[in-house]
Amino acid sequence: MKERMVTMSKKEIQRFEVISKVKEGYLTIREASRILNLSERQVKRLKKGVKQEGAIALIHKNRGWKPAKSILEKVREEVVNRALLPEYDGINYSHFRDLLEERECIILSYASVRRILKAAGIKSPKKHRRVKRHLSRPRKTQAGILVQIDASPHDWLEGRGPYMVLLAIIDDATSKVLGAIFRKEEDTDGYFIVLEQMVMRYGVPLAGYSDRHSIFVSPKSERLSIEDELAGKTVPLTQVGRTLAALGIQHLKALSPQAKGRIERLFGTFQDRLVIEMRLAGIKTLEEANAFLVNYVEMHNRQFSVQPESQKSAFRKAPEKKVLRQILCRHEKRKASNGSTISYGGKTYQLVDTSKALVPLAPKAQLTLLLHRNGTIQASYCDKIYDLQSLEIKKPEKKITHSSQTTSLKAYKPAADHPWRRMQINPKKKQQTQQKTLTMS
SS3 380: strand
- Rounded to 10 degrees, the C-alpha dihedral 100/104/106/109 comes to 10
Q: How far apart are CA 221 and CA 212, in angstroms?
A: 11
Q: Which amino acid is at 170?
A: I
Q: Are strands 250-253 and 207-210 parallel, antiparallel or unpaired?
A: parallel
- Residue 149: name the closest of 184, 182, 187, 195 by CA: 195
Element (H, E) at 154: strand 146-154
Q: Is the pLDDT of residue 25 over 90?
A: no
Cα–Cα distances in Å, from 113 out to 80, 107, 126, 219, 300?
9, 10, 15, 51, 21
- pLDDT at position 1 is 45
Residue 119: its pLDDT value, please?
84
Taking the C-alpha atoms of residue 381 and residue 390, their distance in angstroms, rounded to an integer, is 17
Decide: pTM greater than 0.85: no
Give the separation between CA 437 and CA 441, rounded to whole angstroms: 6
Position 419, amino acid: P
How much is the mean pLDDT over the chain? 84
Does the pLDDT value for residue 69 go beyond 90? no
pLDDT of 136-194, one tens digit each? Answer: 778 999 999 999 999 999 999 999 999 999 999 999 999 999 999 999 999 999 999 99
**b/e for 402-428, b at 16 or more Cβ within 10 A?**
eeeeeeeeeeeeeeeeeeeeeeeeeee
